[in-house]
Amino acid sequence: MAHSNAGRDKRDMDTSGGLASRSAIAAKNLTLIFAGCLIYAIGLHGLLIPHEFLSGGVVGVALILQYLAPGLPMGPVYFLLNIPLLLLGWFTVSRRFMVYSIAGMALFSLACTLVVPAPFHIRDPILVALMAGVICGTGGGLILRSVGSAGGLDILAVYLNRRFGLRLGSVYMATNALVLAAGACLLDLQKALYSIIFVYTSGRIVDAIMAGFNRRKLVYVISEKPQELADQVMKRVNRGVTLLQGRGGFAGKEKEVILTITTMTELPLLKELIFDIDPHAFVVVNDTLEVLGYRHGRLKVY
């Protein structure tokens, strides 16, 4: 009986611990979405709308409709435009992703309605586009750091990626181009061109938020002391090492090639360590698009 009670207590503790962990994750994701929506709304009302600039995706469509019919409120229009995409995502993408996306869509619509700061005192249209790109890109990046979205093209992009294997960036680029082209035809060509600066800047900021502060470097090392180098990298830099089999093209000599992944801050230490052990080592450092796995991040599951 004592063993049964002990087992029940352990299961209860595991269950409560799991619930606490899931609650913490949910709170973190919702906080990211809320903060991102708030920041994006500030850039939207403080810079984009006063200068009648455009954005990409569903936000861009909502802006075009608002410019054509000034009485239409941004938040409710954005919400209504997202309903077909929400239905598509609910039946084709994971329910967890969609629950967070519905929350994000509601928060974004609410922020666009309630958060209306005074227009920023910036007159140069290029500076407006750049500043709006920084602010809205920061907001969008924070939203995408969660496991959800704020609705819009994120849902369509995920669906097309899973259904047809299309890259998310390609989907964004194509749809943004269509929205900007529509804005150029229906509104003003010059403002549509300035909006390209905004879209590009915001995209770069989103990339920085998503990966720039956690950028990794792929390092190859060819040395006459591969095992000693590998041991010191694991000991002093605390990074894993893979030894690849290689062969010199000129002499035909078999060699071991060291492969490791490191951070920007650890890279100077790694290079100093390599050349202290082998001054004649050959080192190649590459940028990485994405690194997933132990100690390097997990796959974002939709």
| More confident call, 6 vs 129 | 129
Whether pLDDT at 50 is above 90: yes
Whether pLDDT at 79 is above 50: yes
CA gyration radius, the chain: 25
Give SS3 for 226: helix
Query: Which pLDDT value is given to residue 301?
Result: 46
Look-up of token digits 């939203």: 143
DSSP H helices in the chain: 2-43, 57-68, 74-92, 95-114, 125-144, 153-164, 168-186, 189-210, 226-232, 267-277
Vertex 209: Cα angle to 272 and 90 (nearest 5) = 135
CB 50, CB 129: distance < 8 Å: no
Q: Where are the domains of the chain?
A: 2-210, 215-287
221-253 pLDDT, tens digit each: 999 899 999 999 998 888 889 999 988 877 788
What is the distance between the alpha carbons of residues 196 and 129, in angstroms, rounded to a whole number?
8
What is the distance between the alpha carbons of residues 184 and 52, in angstroms, rounded to a whole number?
12
Give backbone dihedrals phi and psi of 134, rounded to 5 degrees, phi first.
Answer: -65, -45
CB 116, CB 75: distance < 8 Å: no
| Partners of 220 in the β-ladder | 259, 284
DSSP 191-212: HHHHHHHHHHHHHHHHHHHHTG
pLDDT band for position 171 (cuts 50, 70, 90): confident
What is the distance between the alpha carbons of residues 36 and 153, in angstroms, rounded to a whole number?
16
**pLDDT (average), residues 194-205:** 90
Q: Tokens representing 96?
A: 């967890």
**What pTM was estimated for this model as a whole?**
0.72
Q: Tokens representing 205?
A: 């900021």
Q: Tokens representing 3?
A: 């063993």
Which of 6-20, 140-154, 171-185, 258-272 shows the lowest mean pLDDT across its residues? 6-20
What is the distance between the alpha carbons of residues 272 and 274, in angstroms, rounded to a whole number?
6
What's the whole-number average pLDDT of the chain?
84
Query: Which pLDDT value is given to residue 100?
Result: 85
Would you say domain 215-287 falls under CATH 3.30.70.120?
yes
